[in-house]
């Protein structure tokens, strides 16, 4: 790789993150469910002035603690209640993550490895995309990774005064993780530590006092909110909170039950191209060149070789592999499966990918033919998909008769204007991937760098040019309806399906009549102002002939109904 002065690398990473993470954050509406769900919780904090209680529809929300919502509140105070503000915290987390990976990699091995690690994460599909989203996981994952990193260093420094400070830092970050997403933060770090300890045959690796300090720091940080809720409201809130966590683990949420292998497929395809390199990183033939911060390193050319015979040396690679399997197995067992549930695995995947890149560019590892095939196949499929989406959109009417799902078919009737050139984005991406594979042997460094820049550049064009049009098909009509009703004295409720969009885009306010939170009362009770309902065309039959409801229009698969007030 070209030699970049050390002092400029952090600046380069910040500029790259700012250039790719912040643009177009507000270009498209928030997506139902999670993005709107979390932004709505932040909005309701602002509306009610209650920043300690997480709410949805002004009712207690048991699923998440408030830290991420506090970050969104700060952004909304600065930029207004909008999409840009809801996604802003993760864009900042993206820049911080690049810097963390660089500095951790630099400490582990050297600057080149740190830069490769940051490049692998920055240049892979879902890890890059999620920093432009409004969901919790990118910020949560950063805290988990930092906790694992510091506990690994504390174990490496066992028996020295340094271990105490490192254990405290690990506890601090696990506390922030718990404050962001709940007990799963402590569970991931705890399981990773226990598996590592078991591999070490339960030999002492962390002193009792340091372990106590770890728990104490984590508990102290988490108690910023959990302790406050306990003092204000007693145990009933915690009973509901933990009951919900158990239910989420043991029963599938609506529409999110997937096969056991779901997350393995998600990581393989979603983390392209680093996922393919990481597969090679699991194999023993990279062990002789794996980076490690715990043992003395012997230099062979520019390749760091670990002395596995040193007394207490433990491999950070081992910590990363354990973390990967803890995440993948745990969330494969969980009944509810969503793409970002396994996103913590992206950190160890990027680490393993960086070890392969480091060894390859140093001449210690040969390029594998199957790696070429994998990049060609997955990259080609991605290029074809991005190319096909605009072509499908421009010919949507002709495709409708062949779609069996009535709701999806109706979605395609939405009035979306394509410019006609959008297909070039995917085609250009495919040509870049193909050219890299052809030129790889002549220009290995340039090919690697370009490979991991191609996907961010692809997304930089896709997000403003294609995603807003896709969003128009999937939810544009209903979002328009909600926004048109802002400020009106009406009730609005989705029926027959789950959604949070009406809360955020209607800007719903707290209701003085507690009965108005009941769908049954809104449909059949003595409502005091007009009530509007939204359902999907596949659910309309149960409401079509209801005496209190009248259909006012149908658009893009959504059906809009009205009920006049019982008393004028």
Task: Find residue 18's DSSP bridge partners.
Answer: none
Q: Residue 296 — pLDDT band, cuts 50, 70, 90?
A: very low
How many distinct helices (H) and strands (E) make up the chain?
A: 25, 8
Give me the DSSP letters along 470-503.
HHIIIIIHHHHHHHHTTTSS-EEEE-SS--SHHH
Domain residue spans in the chain?
6-293+313-361, 387-465, 487-563
Q: Residue 247 — pLDDT band, cuts 50, 70, 90?
A: low
Average pLDDT of the residues in 337-358: 91
Over residues 123-158, the pLDDT tens digits come to 999 999 999 999 999 999 999 999 999 999 999 999
Q: What is the pLDDT of residue 496?
A: 92
> Quick one: three-class SS letters along 420-478?
CCCHHHHHHHHHHHHHHHHHCCCCHHHHHHHHHHHHHHHHHHHHHHCHHHHHHHHHHHH
Spatial CA neighbour of 110 closest among 353, 445, 358: 358
Spatial CA neighbour of 291 closest among 336, 350, 239: 350
Q: What is the pLDDT of residue 514?
A: 87
Q: Maximum Cα–Cα distance for the chain, whole Å?
A: 86
Helix (H), strand (E) at residue 71 = helix 67-79
Q: Could you give the count of Cα atoms lying within 13 Å of 433 in the half-sphere of its Cβ?
A: 25
Q: What are the phi and psi torsion angles at 120 (to 5°)?
A: -60, -45
Report yes or no: 348 and 324 within 8 Å, Cβ to Cβ.
yes
Q: From CA 51, how far away is CA 65, in angstroms rounded?
A: 11
Q: From CA 103, how far away is CA 120, in angstroms rounded?
A: 14
Q: What is the pLDDT of residue 109?
A: 85
Q: From CA 281, how far away is CA 515, in angstroms rounded?
A: 58
Q: From CA 279, how far away is CA 270, in angstroms rounded?
A: 14
Q: From CA 137, how far away is CA 341, in angstroms rounded?
A: 8
Q: What is the pLDDT of residue 284?
A: 56
Give me the DSSP letters along 386-405.
HHHHHHHHHTHHHHGGG---
Q: Which segment of 203-212, 440-449, 496-505, 551-560 scores lowest on mean pLDDT?
A: 440-449
Q: What are the phi and psi torsion angles at 411 (to 5°)?
A: -55, -40
Q: Cis link prior to 273 (omega < 30° from 0)?
A: yes
Over residues 31-57, the pLDDT tens digits come to 988 899 999 999 999 999 999 889 999
What mean pLDDT is reported for the chain?
88
Q: What is the pLDDT of residue 298?
A: 37
Residue 412 has pLDDT above 70, yes or no: yes
Q: Residue 242 — pLDDT band, cuts 50, 70, 90?
A: low
Q: What is the pLDDT of residue 366?
A: 86
Q: What is the pLDDT of residue 438?
A: 80
Between 257 and 131, the more confident residue is 131
Residue 565 has pLDDT above 90, yes or no: no
Q: What is the pLDDT of residue 340?
A: 83
Query: Using the 8-state DSSP alphabet, how is residue 527 labeled?
Result: -
**For the whole prediction, is pTM greater than 0.95?**
no
Report yes or no: 351 and 117 within 8 Å, Cβ to Cβ.
yes
Q: What is the pLDDT of residue 94?
A: 97
Q: What is the pLDDT of residue 225?
A: 85
Q: What is the pLDDT of residue 236?
A: 64
Spatial CA neighbour of 255 closest among 473, 559, 534, 498: 498
Residue 440 token pair: 């790889």
> For residues 460, 461, 466 and 472, what is the CA-based torsion angle, rounded to 10 degrees?
50
Report yes or no: 521 and 515 within 8 Å, Cβ to Cβ.
yes
Spatial CA neighbour of 152 closest among 115, 104, 114: 104
Q: From CA 552, how far away is CA 561, in angstroms rounded?
A: 5
Residue 301 has pLDDT above 50, yes or no: no
Residue 454 sits at the vertex; the CA angle it makes with 453 and 457, to the nearest 5 degrees, is 85
Q: What is the pLDDT of residue 311?
A: 31
Query: Terminal CA-to-CA distance of the chain, rounded, Å?
Result: 74
Share of the chain above pLDDT 90, in %: 70
Which ranges of 334-422 would DSSP assign to H, the alpha helix? 346-361, 369-394, 396-399, 406-411
Number of C-beta neighbours around residue 543 at 10 A:
17
Q: What is the pLDDT of residue 313?
A: 30
Average pLDDT of the residues in 352-366: 90
Q: Residue 294 — pLDDT band, cuts 50, 70, 90?
A: very low
SS3 content of the chain, % helix, strand, coil (to 5): 65, 5, 30
Spatial CA neighbour of 117 closest among 448, 540, 389: 448
Q: From CA 156, how far away is CA 42, in angstroms rounded?
A: 40
Q: What is the pLDDT of residue 336?
A: 72
Number of C-beta neighbours around residue 191 at 10 A:
17
Q: What are the phi and psi torsion angles at 7 (to 5°)?
A: -70, -20
Q: From CA 353, how far away is CA 376, in angstroms rounded?
A: 17
């Amino acid at each position: 790789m070209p030699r970049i002065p050390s002092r400029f690398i952090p600046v380069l990473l910040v500029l790259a993150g700012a250039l790719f993470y912040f643009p177009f954050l507000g270009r498209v509406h928030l997506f139902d469910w999670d993005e709107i769900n979390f932004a709505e919780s932040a909005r309701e904090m602002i509306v009610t002035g209650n920043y300690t209680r997480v709410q949805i529809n002004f009712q207690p929300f048991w699923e998440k603690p408030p830290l991420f919502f506090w970050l969104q509140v700060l952004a909304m105070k600065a930029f207004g209640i909008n999409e840009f503000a809801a996604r802003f915290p993760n864009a900042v987390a993206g820049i911080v993550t690049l810097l963390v990976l660089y500095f951790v990699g630099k400490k582990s091995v050297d600057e080149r490895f740190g830069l490769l690690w940051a490049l692998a994460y920055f240049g892979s599909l879902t890890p890059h995309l999620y920093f432009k989203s409004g969901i919790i996981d990118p910020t949560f994952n950063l805290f988990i990774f930092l906790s694992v990193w510091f506990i690994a260093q504390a174990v490496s420094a066992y028996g020295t005064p340094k271990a105490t400070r490192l254990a405290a830092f690990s506890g601090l970050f696990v506390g922030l993780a718990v404050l962001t997403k709940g007990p799963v933060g402590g569970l991931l770090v705890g399981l990773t530590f226990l598996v590592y300890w078991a591999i070490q045959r339960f030999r002492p690796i962390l002193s009792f006092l340091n372990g106590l300090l770890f728990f104490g720091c984590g508990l102290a940080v988490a108690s910023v909110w959990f302790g406050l809720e306990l003092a204000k409201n007693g145990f009933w809130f915690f009973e509901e909170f933990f009951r919900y966590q158990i239910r989420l683990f043991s029963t599938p949420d609506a529409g999110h039950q997937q096969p056991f292998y779901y997350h393995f497929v998600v990581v393989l395809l979603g983390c392209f191209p680093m996922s393919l390199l990481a597969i090679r990183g699991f194999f023993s033939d990279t062990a002789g060149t794996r980076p490690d911060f715990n043992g003395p390193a012997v230099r062979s050319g520019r390749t760091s070789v670990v002395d596995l015979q040193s007394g207490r040396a433990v491999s950070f690679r081992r910590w990363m592999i354990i973390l990967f399997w803890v995440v993948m197995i745990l969330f494969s067992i969980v009944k509810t499966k969503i793409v970002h549930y396994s996103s913590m695995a992206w950190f160890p995947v990027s680490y393993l990918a960086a070890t392969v890149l480091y060894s390859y560019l140093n001449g210690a590892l040969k390029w594998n033919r199957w790696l070429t095939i994998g990049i060609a196949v997955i990259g080609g499929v991605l290029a074809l998909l991005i190319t096909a989406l605009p072509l499908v959109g421009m010919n949507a009417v002709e495709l409708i008769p062949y779609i069996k799902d009535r709701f999806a078919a109706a979605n395609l009737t939405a009035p979306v204007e394509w410019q006609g050139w959008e297909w070039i984005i995917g085609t250009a991406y495919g040509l870049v991937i193909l050219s890299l594979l052809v030129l790889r042997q002549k220009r290995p460094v340039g090919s690697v760098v370009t490979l991991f820049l191609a996907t961010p550049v692809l997304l930089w064009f896709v997000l403003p040019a294609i995603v807003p049009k896709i969003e128009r098909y999937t939810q544009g009509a209903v979002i328009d309806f909600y926004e048109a009703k802002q400020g009106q004295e009406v009730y609005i409720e989705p029926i027959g399906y789950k959604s949070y969009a009406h809360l955020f885009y209607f800007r719903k306010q707290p209701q003085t009549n507690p009965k108005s939170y009941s769908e049954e009362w809104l449909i059949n009770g003595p409502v005091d102002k007009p009530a509007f309902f939204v359902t999907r065309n596949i659910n309309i039959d149960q409401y079509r002939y209801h005496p209190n409801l009248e259909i006012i229009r149908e658009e893009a698969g959504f059906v809009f109904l009205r009920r006049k007030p019982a008393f004028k």
